[in-house]
Structure 1
Amino acid sequence: MMKEHAHKIRVGISSCLLGEEVRFDGGHKSNAYIRKTLSHYFEFVPFCPEVESGMSIPRPTIQLRYTDRGVRCVGVKDHSIDVTDQLLGCAEQQRHWLSGLCGYILKKDSPSCGMTRVKIYREDHADRVGTGIFAQFVKDNFPLMPMEEEGRLGDPRLRENFIQRVYVMYRWKLLCAEPITPSRLTIFHSQHKLIAMSHDQNEARELGRLAASAVKGNAQEIAGQYGTDLMRCLKKTASRGNHVNVLQHIQGYLKKSLDADDKAELTETIERYRLGLLPLIVPITLLRHHFRRQPDPFIGQSYYMSPYPEELTVLNEI
């Protein structure tokens, strides 16, 4: 079922994070985890909006600043240098390849690429409330695209959330590459229902009702809404409590096949995960073991217990 793991998934990335010397000072911000781990699974498409828009290397530093024209990207030393429209014009020219991505990793704090908490200056005071010019363009024009900053990937839960969303987006794009039928949408939902439940129980139920409402005449329209709602749901970081609910839900599929000792062991393992004494991979591994012996068609098609390559080992840390 995990055939997509054999293919690298196209993900955009700020060029400096791959070691390209494109920073304002001619340097880079090479990220070892991205280069040595994620690069085995993601086909990175590097892009530096500052360089691609025509700025030099090295170049004068820029910043976001409140002006009478709104928030603009201007020179740090010379505020009359305004590169906002230059960056936006360059971003507009990238639509053709941006539309084919399944995710984007951005350089934190950058006035062009920062995804969140970028400094916006007002005189000598700065508020960390901004988004880089290019990053905001991607957010506005490709709202379903999973986006994350390299700094936030150090948080296991945020890293897991991003990687999972990239793989779901990849599968969603595969679904949408052919005409969507009610049957194909229903199957997709069945495959991802438990993942959605781990993020938001109520939204998962709404997604189920939405998928079930698709008929031949409205399947394409329903699918468009479903994709939007699914990616919004998955953007919420999955909680331990929701994972416990999903694990117990999966456990219910084994109630007739496990003996008393196996049931007790599984219940205890889930409880120890709930208490924070075990990582998520432990109850999942135990469940996989039981379902190899007692296969179930619904669980067998679900991506919840194998959402991405095991080599990424993210489930060991949450």
Structure 2
Amino acid sequence: MDTPITIGISACLTGRKVRYDGGHTRDPYLMETLARFVEFLPVCPEAECGLGVPREPMRLVGDPAKPRLITIQSKIDLTERMESWCQKRVHELETENLCGFIFKSRSPTSGMERVKVYSESSTGAPQHKGVGLFARAFMDHFPLLPVEDEGRLHDPALRENFITRIFVLRRWREAAAHQRLGSLIEFHTRHKLLLFSHSETHYRALGRFVAQAKQYPAEALFADYEKGLMTALACKPTVKKQVNVLLHLMGYFKKVLSPAEKAELLELIDQYHREYVPLLVPLTLLNHYVRKYNEAYLAGQYYLQPHPVELKLRNHV
């Protein structure tokens, strides 16, 4: 890629000592593995809006749909101060060309889901229904950007889906930079099977949209395609969806594979379907056949390698 992939991240996850107690929560996978392929832009809402390090801890209080940010001991209401900073910060981030954001889980400012919200009376168990003030402002302002928290990224399927989306978005922005119809068609063609693995419904809708592309003004065409693209990729691939794509790929070799080769490939696809082996196993054999039989169309499909192999994202069962 011509330009780096820039990802926003809660600063404490990078090892910066910005937490309320002066510590950090550095994430080894993010900083030692993913950081080899992306550039992180650290953000700490509390420190950046001037609350200092260390500082009094705070929590969300009241209505989970619109909670207040209150310090625990002194009961100081920091809601307006934080919300004002959030609005300013998300507008500043428009210039950073972000391809996604990784939030700190459970944080009253940066948690993207299931943040504790306490009642006004401080009695009873908290509700796990809140969203951190900055995370909410960011997701409202950038509704199409991929977002996750470091806790959810411990799930291999969620991790792969998030990282797939950031790499696709980076490629899309490069393809869309000059708003040429040919670039859009080429991008869509090379991502067809990847889209198919996320959502057959969106894949077919985007196909019809591209077929009618000349009917749309360029600006609307590219904006609407990006919306459809990111909406499709937000649908998580399942084993069943992946098996459908694998069988579709196999169809390209029906005239060249021997009965024994077909049986071997079907066996591997079945083992993946039963979750005995990872997706990487049947894909490795299919990639071999793509090279062996010089299947040009499949060689151009990002489905076969949507992200760097070093990330080992298709090695899980």
Asked whether the two chains share a fold, i.e. TM above 0.5, the reply is yes
8 A contact 1:180–1:223 mirrored in 2? no
Q: Paired residue for 1:165?
A: 165
**Residue 127 of structure 1, CA deviation:** 0.8
Distance 1:113-1:147 versus aligned 2 partners, 3 A rule: same
8 A contact 1:24–1:60 mirrored in 2? yes
Does residue 155 (structure 1) correspond to residue 150 (structure 2)? The answer is no
Distance 1:118-1:49 versus aligned 2 partners, 3 A rule: same
Equivalent residue in structure 1 for 2:79, among 66, 81, 84: 84
CA RMSD for the aligned pairs? 1.8
Q: Paired residue for 1:45?
A: 41
Q: Structure 2, unaligned stretches of length 5 or more?
A: none
Q: Paired residue for 1:202?
A: 201
8 A contact 2:160–2:314 mirrored in 1? yes
Q: Distance in 1 between matches of 2:279 and 2:167?
A: 19
Q: Distance in 2 between matches of 1:299 and 1:69?
A: 47
**Residue 275 of structure 1, CA deviation:** 0.9
* Amino acid of the structure 2 residue aligned with 1:309: P
**Residue 69 of structure 1, CA deviation:** 10
Q: Paired residue for 1:191?
A: 190
The within-5 A match list for 1:115-126 is 115-122=112-119, 123=121, 124=123, 125-126=125-126
Equivalent residue in structure 1 for 2:111, among 110, 114, 118: 114
Deviates more, 1:88-97 or 1:253-262: 88-97
The within-5 A match list for 1:128-277 is 128-181=128-181, 183-215=182-214, 217-277=216-276
Distance 1:217-1:8 versus aligned 2 partners, 3 A rule: closer
Q: In the TM superposition, what whole-angstrom CA distance separates every residue of 1:230-285 from its partner, at most 9, and x where no partner exists?
A: 21121122100000000111111111221221111111111111111110000111
* Amino acid of the structure 2 residue aligned with 1:210: F
Q: Paired residue for 2:28?
A: 32
Q: Distance in 2 between matches of 1:67 and 1:128?
A: 12
Q: Paired residue for 2:283?
A: 284
Residue 22 of structure 1: SS of its match in structure 2?
A: coil
Distance 1:220-1:73 versus aligned 2 partners, 3 A rule: same
* Amino acid of the structure 1 residue aligned with 2:29: Y
Give me the TM-score of the superposition, normalised by structure 1: 0.93
Q: In the TM superposition, what whole-angstrom CA distance separates every residue of 1:114-151 from its partner, at most 9, and x where no partner exists?
A: 01111111133311111111111110011111111001
Q: Distance in 2 between matches of 1:148 and 1:69?
A: 20
Q: In the TM superposition, what whole-angstrom CA distance separates every residue of 1:90-122 from its partner, at most 9, and x where no partner exists?
A: 223332334511111110000110011111111
**Residue 7 of structure 1, CA deviation:** 5.9
Q: Distance in 2 between matches of 1:280 and 1:177?
A: 33
8 A contact 1:190–1:298 mirrored in 2? no
Residue 227 of structure 1: SS of its match in structure 2?
A: helix
* Amino acid of the structure 2 residue aligned with 1:31: D
Q: Distance in 1 between matches of 2:44 and 2:94?
A: 13
Q: Distance in 2 between matches of 1:120 and 1:282?
A: 44
Give me the TM-score of the superposition, normalised by structure 2: 0.93
**Residue 194 of structure 1, CA deviation:** 1.0
